[in-house]
Amino acid sequence: MTEKETYPLLSEIEFPADLRRLPVEQLPQVCNELRRFIIHELADNPGHFASSLGVVELTVALHYVFDTPNDRIVWDVGHQAYGHKILTGRRTLFHTNRKLGGLKPFPSPEESEYDTCTCGHASNSISVALGMAVGIKKKPLSGSPQREERHVVAVIGDGSMTGGLAFEGLNNVSSTPNDMLIILNDNDMSIDRSVGGMGEYLHKLHTSGTYNNLRDKTARLMYRWHVLNDDRKGRVLRFNNALKSLLTNQRNIFEGLNIRYFGPEDGHNVVELVRTLRRIKDMRGPKMLHLHTVKGKGFEPAERNATVWHAPGKFDPETGERLTPDPDKPQPPRFQDVFGETLLEMARKDERIVGVTPAMPTGCSLCIMQKEMPERTFDVGIAEGHAVTFSAGLAREGMRPFCNIYSSFAQRAYDNIIHDVAISRLPVVLCLDRAGLVGEDGPTHHGAFDLAALRPIPNVTIASPMDEHELRRLMFTALHCDRGPFVIRYPRGRGVLVDWRCPLEAVPVGKGRRLREASGPTAVLSLGPIGNVAAEAIRDSGLDIAHYDMRFAKPLDEELLTEVAQRYSRIITLEDGAKEGGMGTAVLEWMAEHGFRPDIVRLGLPDNFVEHGSPGELYRIVGLDKDSIKVELKKLSSL
C-alpha cells in the first residue's frame, strides 16, 4: 500500500498549518494514523517508544489549537516528542531518527524552528517556558512599543515532576507575572488520581467560558473598587483553591500556589482536549492543565509493561514480540548487570550496603538487588541532587550507599557531590553508568565530562575498570575504603569477559597495572574499558609499545608514572572522556611538575559536543576506534 492509502490524513500533514485546516471531527483519525506510524517506524528503527505513544492526542491538540511555531511549546524530556517531530515537517525523514547524520534523538532548535529548546534531560520545561513567557512580555516588537503576542506552553510529566528544578520553576511561576500554560502529563507515575462527581462538576464549571468571563470581570471590578490588588490576589486564589479542595477532597501542591488549576482530564480524548485548550489558552495569569494519560497507549504490550517498552529495541508491530539477536556463542555481560549482581553479592554479606538511584533501577540494574532486598534499595525519582545528598545522610549514619547515576545526569548533582559528600569525606560510592559515548541518544546523554569535572574536587577518588573483573574489584575496594567519596565510571553496553565472575578482593587505591613491557620508546597509558581497544591496536600494529592500565584518574599512580617517564620518551594517554581536563591532562601536569619532558599525545573526546550515531560510528569520528589509535601509535613511533 502507498503512504497515502495507509495514512490518508497524516500523509497530507507536512506542518501544523495543514493540521489546523482539518475539521475537529477528523482529529481522532489523525491520532490513530500518527500512533500507527510511530509503532511501525520504531519497530524497525528503535527509539523511545511508550512515552511518545502516551501523548499522541495531546500533541495533535496542541498543534491544532496553538499557532506553532509562533506560539512556543516546550517539551520536558524529549522522548515524548516523536509525534511532535512527525507533525512539524520531519515525517519523511523520521526513518533517520537517532541515526548518524539523521534526525536528532531529542528536540533541538538547531533542527527545527518548532523545537523551542534542547530537552534531553528532565524537569527543565517550566523554567525555560517561564523565561520565554516573561521575555515575550518584555521584548518590544522591532520599531514598535508594542509587545509580541505569543502563547507559551510547558508540557511536563513522565516522572519529571519529581525533579527539584520543576518545583523551583513552579515557585517562580507563582510570583512572576506571566500567562504561560503548564500541561501536566500524568501517566499514573507521579500524581494520584482525583475522584468524585463534585470534582467533575467543578472542572466543567471552571473551564466554561461563562464562568471565566464572570470571574475576570469580577476581578477587574474589584481592582477598580480597590478591594483587590496584586498582594491580595494571591490570597484570593489560595482561598478559591482551598474551597475547591474542601469540596472535592482533592489535594495537590498546585492549589497552594497562585496557579489556576484545571483538571484532571482524559488525555486521550482529543476533541475534548481541543475544547479545553481553546477555552483556557487566552486566560491571563499562569495556568495548569492536569491530564491523565497511559504510557504506551494504543499498543497493548507497552500498556502492560511501560518500563520494558520505554525503549524496547526492534519488535514485531503485529505480535509485539521483541526481536533480540540470538548469538551463536555466549556473550559477555553488560557492565550494568555486573554492577547489579556484584552489589547484591556484597550486600548479602554486609548489612551496611544500600543502593540508591534517581529513577533508573532497571537502566543501571539496581533492580537485581531491589528484587531481593527492596527495603535496602531506594529509587528516589528523577532527582539526582537529592540522590547524592540522601546518600550522604545514609553514610553519615554508618551505611555504605552505592549511588548509581548515569554520568551525564550526575552533572546535575555537582554541588551536592562537593558540598554534601566531599567536604565531609563521606564514604559514598558514586557509580557513574553510561560513561563515555552512549551512542544514539547523543550529546545530552554522552558521559563526556565526569573526569574533568570531578578531578579537581578534594577528597574524591576516581577509578574506571578496564573489564568486568576490575569493576568487581573496584566495587569491593570502594566498600572497604576509608578515603571518602569513591567514583567508579564505566560505559554502557557489554564488557569483554564471558567468564566474568571472580573472587572479590581489594586493589591498592591509586595503583595502576603494567600490562605490557617494551624496549621501544613509546608507552600507552589508558583509563577504563577503552584500554581493551588500545591493547588490540598495539597488537595489530606490530610495534614494540608498552601499555599501562592507569585504573585511577585520581590519585595518580606516581610510582608507575615515574617508571614510564624514566623508560619511555613518547607517551600516548587514552580515555573516553573529555580530553581537556581529563586523565591525560593530569598526566601532563604531573610530568611537568616533576621535571620530565616526554613527548605526550593526549587522546580523548574533543572540545565539542559529539552528535548521535552508533557507538562504533562515533568512536571512529572522534578518533578513538582501533584503526585511529593504530594511526596515532605509528605516527608517534616514527618520530
Contact 359, 190 (CB under 8 A): no
Task: Choose the catalytic residue: 104, 376, 400, 412.
Answer: 412
Please confirm whether the linkage preceding 69 is cis (ω < 30° from 0): yes
Please confirm whether the linkage preceding 23 is cis (ω < 30° from 0): no
Quote the distance between the C-alpha of residue 634 and its chain's center. 39
Please report how the helices 209-224 and 270-280 are oriented relative to each other, as an axis angle in degrees rounded to 10. Answer: 20
Q: CA-to-CA distance for 153 and 458, rounded, in angstroms?
A: 42
Task: Choose the catalytic residue: 91, 295, 473, 551.
Answer: 295
**All three cell numbers of 235:** 490570597
81, 207, 271, 595 from 29: Cα distances, Å: 19, 26, 11, 73
Amino acid at 242: A
Task: Choose the catalytic residue: 384, 468, 575, 611.
Answer: 384
Number of C-beta neighbours around residue 49 at 10 A = 28
Q: Give catalytic status of residue 384 as yes or no.
A: yes
**All three cell numbers of 123:** 524537569
| HEC letters along 320-354 | CCECCCCCCCCCCCEHHHHHHHHHHHHHCCCCCEE
Contact 551, 560 (CB under 8 A): no
**All three cell numbers of 40:** 511501525
Q: CA-to-CA distance for 221 and 80, rounded, in angstroms?
A: 42
**All three cell numbers of 108:** 533541538
Number of C-beta neighbours around residue 559 at 10 A = 11
Q: Give catalytic status of residue 412 as yes or no.
A: yes
Number of C-beta neighbours around residue 543 at 10 A = 17
What residues act catalytically? 295, 384, 412
